[in-house]
Amino acid sequence: MKIPDLKRVMTGLLALVVSQGAIADNLFYGINDESSRITTVSASKHDEDLFASPLSISVLTAERIKNSGATSVPEALRLLPGVLVREQTNGVYEVHLRGLENAPEGNSLTTLNSRLTLLMIDNRIVYDYFDGGLFWQSLPVGMDDIARIEVIRGPASALYGSNAAQGVIHIITKRAANSGYASASVKAGTSNSSDLHAEAGTRLGEHALRVSGFTNQRDRFQETYYSFSDGRYVAASELPNSDSFKPYPDPNQALKSNAISLNLNNSPESQWHYDISLNHQDSESHRIYISSEDSPFTYNTSETSAMNALLAYGNLQTRISHQWGENSAEGFPDFNSDMRLTQASLEYSFRLPKWLIQPGIYREEASYDSPFIGGKRDLNTTAYMLRTEFTPTPASRLIAALRLDDYNVPSENYPSVQLLGSYKLTHDTLLRGGVMTAHRSAFMVTHYLDLTFDYPGQALSALVKGDPQGKLTQVKTYEVALRKQLSFNHWFEVELFRTEADDFLGSVNEGLVTENGFTTSTIQIQSLPSQVTQHGLTLNWLYEQAQWDLNVFLTGQQTRVESQIESLNAPLTTYDTTNRGTPAVYGGLDFNWRAAPTWFLNTNLYYLDDHELRVSRPISQIDFSSRLVANVTLRHDFWDGVSGYISARNLSNNQDPQYFYTDGIDPLYMIGVDLTWIR
Amino acid sequence: MKLFGWIVILLTALPCAADDQVCETLKISGGTHWFPFFFRELPTEDSLLPSDQRDRLQGRNGILGDIVLLAAKRANIPVIITEPKPWRRILFDLSQGQTDVLAGALKTEERAELFSFSDAVYYSEFRLFVRRDKQFTFHQLSDLKHRNGVKLGGMSFGQTVDSYIFDNLIMEEVSETASLFRMLEAKRADYAIFHLNSGLEIIHQLAMDQTLVALPNAVAKEPIFVAFSRRSRCSAQISILQEEIRHMLGDGSVAGITDFYNSLIQLPPGAQLGKDANSYYASLFGIRVQ
């Protein structure tokens, strides 16, 4: 596909949008009952009907999550289109939106981590600014804490800032609704897997209080580790340096996490509205975090706390959040970091007939203290935001969102843009399109790293240097889509996208320099010349009958890399190629059947086509054959407030590792009971 | 991918057991607590209606519910009132023929493609609700310029009013009815537009009678219809029911029902009810809830 084709389509779409349309009558509006329409807040920063959303967005409700039997957020995300989910070990995942996980290929191992996706909990950004990526295993959110998950596919930096380059995953948690209630959920299964969640909530006059907590335990499916030097899985004791570093204190433990949350809020309709959350989590897990030359896994511990406060007066809204704690990789004390992350924003919504104008300002300060980056380092930004929404006719909408980030590192300012248009061809058909730009943030490692290693007894040292002025990876996406509602709760969506990305960073080996008999090897983190282009198509079809519903979704994509590097050794030599890091086809199916009033069956499938991942430090490549993963859950409501279920998970034609020399993934069989008491 | 396709086909086929095509009863649905149009349980103590008026509603289901049930009774058609469902689900079931009759709906072009409708059986007035201490004079829509309004998402007040609102007014949309009045009470909006009768009832249930009032002049008056499924197994019975409702409109039966409810709503306790209103209910009995 040529670029001009899609651009022409986009231009045509925008021209169509400004034409006059008939007033659209809503098919579903109720009279005084709830319309039960699904709404989203992430796509426009205000509540709107999912069908009218101008972005590629999907919503996963608490009910769907419950029905699916999903045991973690990443596993639940397999129910949505455009999401690539790979399990590293029992309960530990890596999640990418729309791919580009290994583009350009041949970079260092940790660049496989999801650095182009932003994760938020109730608008609080949860992101690892140390080396980029998401700590799924350290979320202070249990499955029963989630009200819904909204996933934006495609860049959204103009709305949410850096790292929303390939999309946003927004977890919205529950608030106490009833006058008084308590609930508990207990799950247990194979591989010593268990999960206990408890919550209680009450209303205190105009205020609502909710307290919840969970503890989660998973064993690995194997106790061995892949050894880069041996080229096979070996016991921990057989790994090089295992005696001196002791990097794996518990080879059997996949994940252990505990968290507690407290939320206090009043009605969102109040003139003065507040919503305050406090939470704390501690976790231990095996995952790929910081590259080790011995084995891909590190054993990570994390203990963090966070506060998130929203205060709104009418249309003026301010939010302050603060997260603090410590992340460690056992056996690699240099990687340990104390972190502080503070975010504050002030936004106003100004309404006129046909116009909604939302100016805002945002301040973020990330501070990490670690030997690996030479002590305490800061990454700060002040961002200026303006979002305007113009509705020239009842059937059409134009949105322009601009954001300028003024970073301390690098010193260059980075703008983000979102230009969107939608047009209702008929009451049940929406055509939409847009152009969006976004960028990744600086990370502590990529921009502050400045290490010198002296090799004992040798006239040799190694320098590893970040670049404080290193360019930030930038992404531009063109998108056009059609949403069609064929009848009540029967609709499909087709979205076409083209993404261009460049300024990827890589740690380039600049070679050896010998002076006065002393040799120095330098690795410099710098921009790579590679330019990545991805073309894709996502289909999403939902069909519902009275007792059952079916959702089928599929994404097909092709990624080309111009100036793909041969290796990370200077001088860099390049070639053009098709990147196979993202499966050409991936998707799934979610089927719910209420077989009888008290019996409920869910079957969901997740498919990844064959693909390959290649990294250069350490040099290695894996070909992954296609896999289909099936989960089946049967739920029964015994009586009011008591239900139970059995679930068979990870049933697959392929139990090989899903990620880079991580664990093979075995089936998991779970049984659970949910208890609810309402005053 | 072939496997993927087979699974889709298999799963899709699984629950498609053929429905019984015999029409034994008409399935009737409506709003859950849409007083005075359709309700399943009598208004509770927090209702606007005093207790003696509430007692008069024993065995009744609101204006639209009573019209449909009385028509079915007169036509000797057995009926079942389906269990409460979300509004979207009700319309979906009606479109699929899993519900036969919807007792109370506004008519739109889109709905007319999927359902057939009775003649208009009632007219609902849309009014402006405001804070008691922030009342203003309302004669025409231009009086609302530069004020912040709020309405239920997707709610239509007719083409003319909708067009004016769109072109000239600042209007926020909310998903829940209660949010309309909560925002108004919290001074986040200057006015809300909603059905007069339902609105007063909800305000009372929210204990906002002392804070919110309805302004005297109507914004719009919209007809309410009975809607029928086009995919019902009971097409013959539906035709008979439609005809019976038409007769009831002609012989004053519908007017009697509406008079009864109007008198409940508008007249003080003890005032004279509409003529012979109670006689229409004497024959209504044996309504079972599915």
Question: Among B200, B221, B242, where does a domain finish?
Answer: B221
pLDDT in tens, A595-645: 888 999 999 999 999 999 988 867 788 999 999 999 999 999 999 999 999
Is residue B289 assigned to a domain? Answer: no
Question: Does residue B34 have a pLDDT over 90?
Answer: no
SS3 B166: helix
Is residue B134 assigned to a domain? Answer: yes
Residue B174 touches chain A, beta carbons under 8 Å: yes
Residue A459 banded pLDDT, cuts 50, 70, 90: confident
pLDDT in tens, A142-191: 999 999 999 999 999 999 999 999 999 999 999 997 779 999 999 999 99
CB of A629 closer than 8 Å to CB of A603: no
Q: Which of A568, A562, A571, A574 shows the shortest CA–CA distance to A619?
A: A568
Residue B2 banded pLDDT, cuts 50, 70, 90: low
Question: Among B221, B237, B270, where does a domain finish?
Answer: B221
Distance CA A120, CA A9 (A): 33
A427: which chain B residues are within 8 Å (Cβ-Cβ)? 109-110
Clarify whether residues B71 and B209 are in a common domain: no
Q: How many domains would you assign to chain B?
A: 2
Clarify whether residues B134 and B210 are in a common domain: yes
Question: Does residue A21 have a pLDDT over 60?
Answer: no
Reported residue count of chain B is: 290
SS3 A104: coil
Clarify whether residues B207 and B237 are in a common domain: no
Phi-psi region of A238 (alpha: psi -120 to 50; beta: other; left: phi over 0): alpha
HEC-encoded secondary structure of A363-430: EEEEEEEEHHHCEEEEEEEEEEEEEEEEEEECCEEEEEEEEEEEECCCCCEEEEEEEEEEEEEECCEE
Is residue B15 assigned to a domain? Answer: no
Residue A607 touches chain B, beta carbons under 8 Å: yes
Q: Residue A91: phi, psi to the nearest 5?
A: 85, 0
Clarify whether residues B30 and B110 are in a common domain: yes
Structure tokens at A445: 């490692």
Report the CATH number that the domain containing residue B82 is assigned in CATH: 3.40.190.10
Distance CA A157, CA A536 (A): 20
Q: Which residue of A has its CA nearest to B30?
A: A33
Clarify whether residues B118 and B229 are in a common domain: yes
pLDDT in tens, B274-289: 323 333 232 222 222 2
Residue of A34, A427, A550 with shortest CB distance to B176: A34
Is residue B16 assigned to a domain? Answer: no
Chain A residues 18-57 with a CB less than 8 Å from chain B:
23, 25-37, 39, 47, 49
A281 half-sphere exposure, CB direction, 13 A CA radius: 27
Q: Which of A653, A659, A563, A656 shows the shortest CA–CA distance to A613?
A: A659
Residue with tokens 């007017």: B255
Residue with tokens 């689900």: B89
Containing A603, the helix (H) or strand (E) segment is strand A599-608
Task: Please tell me the predicted confidence (pLDDT) of residue B49.
Answer: 66
Mean of the per-residue pLDDT values for chain B?
79
DSSP state of B289: B
Beta strands, E only, A62-145: 83-89, 92-97, 107-108, 117-121, 124-125
Mean of the per-residue pLDDT values for chain A?
88
Task: Please tell me the predicted confidence (pLDDT) of residue A630.
Answer: 97
Pick the CATH number of A3-616+627-678 from 1.20.1260.10, 3.40.50.800, 3.40.50.2300, 2.40.170.20: 2.40.170.20
Clarify whether residues B91 and B233 are in a common domain: yes
Containing B264, the helix (H) or strand (E) segment is helix B253-266
Clarify whether residues B118 and B228 are in a common domain: yes
Task: Please tell me the predicted confidence (pLDDT) of residue A19.
Answer: 32
Clarify whether residues B77 and B191 are in a common domain: no
Q: What does A534-595 look like in DSSP terms, one character per residue?
A: EEEEEEEEEEE-SSEEEEEEEEEEEEEEEEEES-SBSSP-EEEEEE-SS-SEEEEEEEEEEE
Is residue B288 assigned to a domain? Answer: no
Clarify whether residues B183 and B230 are in a common domain: no
Residue of B32, B34, B95 with shortest CB distance to A487: B95
b/e per residue A630-646 (b: at least 16 CB within 10 A): bbbbbbebeeeeebebe
Distance CA A473, CA B37 (A): 59
Pairing of strands A56-61, A355-370: unpaired
Residue with tokens 């059947």: A593
Distance CA B1, CA A609 (A): 9
Sequence spans of domains, chain A: 3-616+627-678
Chain A residues 521-550 with a CB less than 8 Å from chain B:
543-548, 550
Is residue B262 assigned to a domain? Answer: yes
Clarify whether residues B217 and B257 are in a common domain: no
Clarify whether residues B140 and B111 are in a common domain: no
When mean pLDDT is compared across A240-244, A561-565, A614-618, B81-85, the lowest value belongs to A240-244
Clarify whether residues B205 and B139 are in a common domain: yes
Beta strands, E only, A70-160: 83-89, 92-97, 107-108, 117-121, 124-125, 146-153
When mean pLDDT is compared across A152-156, A290-294, B180-184, the lowest value belongs to A290-294
CB contact under 8 A, A34 and B175: yes
When mean pLDDT is compared across A319-323, A510-514, B262-266, the lowest value belongs to B262-266
Show Cβ contacts of residue A39 under 8 Å, excluding neighbours closer than 6 positions. Answer: A47, A48, A49, A50, B175
Per-residue pLDDT, averaged over B9-33, amounts to 64
Distance CA B223, CA B122 (A): 6
Question: Among B221, B240, B255, where does a domain finish?
Answer: B221
Is residue B86 assigned to a domain? Answer: yes
B155: which chain A residues are within 8 Å (Cβ-Cβ)? 26, 29
Boundaries of domain holding B92: 24-122+224-282
Is residue B12 assigned to a domain? Answer: no
CB atoms under 10 Å from CB of B160, counted, come to 10
